[in-house]
Amino acid sequence: MYWRRFNGERIEVPIKEAVKNAIIRERANGYNLKVYIGTDSQVRGKVVEFATVIVFLREGKGGFMFIQNDKQEQRFSIKERMLLEVGKSIEIAYSLCELFDTYNVDMEIHADINTNPQFKSNAALNEAVGYILGMGFAFKAKPDAFASSSCANKVV
């Protein structure tokens, strides 16, 4: 699996190095960054496609994102799939949290799970909240989880 930019350009360095370079570059240009990590998935026949994004927002000046796509040929219940999405986001956040601490960058995990009990994804909400908070990360769920429900959703 590799990471790419929104324009399709492949990121040739390890993701930790790419994120560090982005933080340094944006800071040098005078921007204050916030980072949001989210994952979304789509079931297509017997395949589940995932997209994980690292979204960098420049305060008041737009943003950019790094994208990783993944496929699995396995059937999941909605709850399993939602928790797998959260797990993918946590894995990336955990691998990068030292960088965010070093450079004092706020980071938040966005879960593509609806807070409204009328939606099927809500079945995973309690477990996802516990998982994310237990790892020490800030998070948002739908409708406030734009990294997963908007950004990752567009590239899955």
Of 25-39, 51-65, 98-112, 124-138, which range is least confident?
A: 124-138
For 41-74, write each residue's pLDDT tens digit: 999 999 999 999 999 999 889 999 999 999 999 8
Residues 85, 109: contact at Cβ < 8 Å? no
Note the pTM of the prediction, 2 decimals: 0.94
Residue 75 clears pLDDT 90, i.e. is over it: no
pLDDT at 1 > cutoff 90? no
